[in-house]
């Protein structure tokens, strides 16, 4: 192992590894990571070790990439608005707990990668239309839900008409 020098007090090779928490915050990501790094036994200052830092940076970058790909709260709100659908109803359509989307939107929870992907896919109106269709085929629809579903259907038709100019074409459901 390479010799480690404390730049604070000049002590050489008098270090111990300690667990410490580092916070990473930036555009589209925010997380904490536990890292195990050397500290000077004499003065307590952290000792910079190129190899260790390189490894930590790689791990952190991977996590940053991961988090940046996760759908944002704003993107979810945009989807809800474009299809004129409520948080609760879309959660049910996706087969999730009723408050799942609400939790994502209120910011207390971050969707995991697979849920994030499922929501992102809904940006494609055809995917949303299929989800709506499947739900209407399989579930017993309550009376009060019918109105909301109808609204969502008109929402998706509106989005589709914007896509390929099929204004006024009905019977897609």
Is residue 9 close enough to count as binding Zn ion by CB under 5 A?
A: yes
Asked whether 35 and 26 are in contact (CB, 8 A), the reply is: no
- Smallest gap from Cβ 42 to Zn ion, in A, equals 5
Q: Which is nearer to Zn ion, 20 or 124 (CB)?
A: 20
Q: What element of type H or E holds 23?
A: strand 15-26
7 binds Zn ion (CB under 5 A): no
CB 21 → Zn ion: shortest distance, Å? 21
Give me 89's structure tokens. 């109803």
Q: Name the residue among 56, 64, 57, 62 with its Cα closest to residue 31.
A: 64
Interface with Zn ion (CB under 5 A), residue from 5, 13, 37, 42: 42
160 binds Zn ion (CB under 5 A): no
Q: Are 82 and 155 in contact (CB under 8 A)?
A: yes
Contacts to Zn ion by CB under 5 A: 6, 8-9, 11, 40, 42-43, 45
């Amino acid at each position: 192992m390479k010799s480690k020098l404390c730049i604070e007090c000049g002590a050489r090779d008098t270090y111990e590894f300690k667990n410490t928490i580092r916070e990473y915050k930036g555009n589209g990501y925010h997380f904490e990571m536990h890292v195990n790094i050397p500290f000077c036994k004499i003065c307590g200052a952290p000792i910079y070790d190129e190899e260790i830092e390189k490894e930590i940076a790689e791990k952190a970058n991977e996590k940053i990439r991961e988090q940046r790909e996760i759908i944002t709260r704003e993107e979810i709100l945009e989807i809800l608005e474009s299809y004129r659908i409520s948080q609760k109803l879309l959660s049910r359509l996706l087969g999730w707990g009723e408050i799942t989307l609400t939790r994502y939107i209120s910011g207390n929870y971050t969707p995991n990668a697979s849920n994030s992907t499922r929501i992102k896919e809904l940006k494609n109106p055809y995917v949303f239309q299929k989800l709506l269709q499947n739900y209407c085929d399989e579930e017993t629809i309550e009376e009060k839900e019918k109105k909301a579903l109808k609204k969502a259907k008109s929402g998706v038709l509106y989005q589709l008409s914007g896509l390929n100019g099929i204004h006024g074409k009905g019977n897609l459901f």
